[in-house]
Amino acid sequence: MIKEDSFARNSKQWNARTAGIVPHDNIYYGKCLIGGALACGSTHLLITPLDVTKCNMQVDPMKYRNLIGSLKTIIHEEGSRAIWKGWEPTVLGYSPQGALKFGLYEVFKDALSNLVGYENSQKYRELIWLTGAAASEFCGCLALCPMEMIKVKVQTSVPGTFPTALVPATIEMNINRNATRFPYGSIVPLWSRQIPYTVTKFYFFEKAVQLLYTHVFTEPKTSYSKTTQLGITFTAGYAAGIVCAIVSHPGDSIVSLMAKPNYRGKSIKEITRDFGLLNLCTKGLGTRIIMIGTIAALQWWIYDTFKTAMGMGTTGGK
C-alpha cells in the first residue's frame, strides 16, 4: 500500500484536486465560495460597532482615545443606532470578498500544486499558501472596494454632513466621484491592508493547524471528533488574527484617513508624513486586535463548520 501511494504521488497522474479524501471538483469550490461569503459577511456585520469605533479612533485620536470611551461618545452624540452605521455596505462588500478570498484560495492552492507537481508541492507548501492567499485577496478586494469606501465615509463623517443609508450614500459618493474617487480610489491602500492581512491570516492559520496536529493532537486528524477539529480551527484562527491585525493596521488606518476632508487627494506618502508613521501603526491597534482576532477565529470556524456540514472536512492539518 505504501509503495502504491508513493507511486501515485510521484507519478505524472497525481492531481491535487483528486488526491484528498474529498475530490476538489467545481461543486466543492462552489461550496467554498458560499462558505467564505457566510463567514466574512456575518462576522463583519457582527462587529460593526467595533468597526465604527475603530475607524473614528484612527481618524480623530485626540477625541476618541479608547474603546469604551469612544463607544460612549458616539452613542451620546449620535444615538445608539450610530454604532451600526455602515452595516449595509459592510454586508454587501465583505460577503463577495469573503467568497473570493476563501473560495479562490482553495482553487489557487490546487492549481499551484498541480503546476509544480507532488514533490515540489510538499517541499514548497508554505510558498503555495502565501501565493494562493495573496492572489485570492487581490481578487477579493476588487469586489470589496466600492462598498468599503462607502462604509468608511458613512462611519467617519461628521453627523449630518453625509447620508448614512446605503442608497443615498452611494449616490452621493458617485455624484462627487471626482473628490471621493469612488468606486476604486482606495484600491491601492485596500490592497496594502488586505493582502498582508490575508497572507498572514492564511499562512499562520495553516501553520498553527499543522503544528497543533503535529505536536499536540498527534493521532490522525480523522480520528478526532468534528467538535475537536473545529476547536483547533478556532484556536489557530485567533492566533493568526492577532498577528495579521498588527501587520495590516497601517494600511487600514490609511483607508480610514482617506475618507476625511483634510486628507482628500493626498498620496499615501503624504498621509503617512502628516499623520505620523507611529500613529498609523498604533492608534486604534488594541481595538483592532480584539476585532480582528475575533473575526479571524469566527471566520475560520464558520467556514470549517460549513465545510464539515457539507461533508468536506476542516481546513489544513495532516
313 Cβ neighbours under 8 A, 6+ residues apart: 21, 22, 229, 307
Cα-to-chain-centroid distance, residue 30: 19
Over residues 254-309, the pLDDT tens digits come to 877 877 777 877 888 888 888 898 988 888 888 888 878 888 999 999 999 999 99
CA–CA gap between residue 280 and residue 259 (Å, rounded) = 15
Domain boundaries, the chain: 22-309
- Grid coordinates standing for 154? 458613512
User: What is the predicted pLDDT for the residue at 294?
Assistant: 84
Name the residue among 163, 164, 110, 167 with its Cα closest to residue 135: 110
Tell me: pLDDT of 2 over 60.
no
DSSP per residue over 134-189, as a string?
HHHHHHHHHHHHHHHHHHHHHHHSPTTSS--SHHHHHHHHHHTHHHH-TTTTTHHH
User: What is the predicted pLDDT for the residue at 13?
Assistant: 82
Task: Flag the least confident range among 6-20, 178-192, 216-230.
Answer: 6-20
Mean pLDDT over residues 152-164, rounded?
Answer: 90
CB-based burial of residue 267 (10 Å sphere; 0-12 exposed, 13-18 middle, 19+ buried)?
Answer: exposed
pLDDT tier for residue 165 given thresholds of 50, 70 and 90: very high
Tell me: pLDDT of 142 over 90.
yes
To the question of domain 22-309 being in CATH 3.40.190.100, the answer is: no
Taking the CB of residue 6, how many other CB atoms lie within 10 A of it? 11
Over residues 242-256, the pLDDT tens digits come to 888 888 888 878 877
Directed axis angle between helix 187-211 and helix 226-257, to 10°? 160
Tell me: pLDDT of 66 over 50.
yes
Tell me: pLDDT of 10 over 80.
no
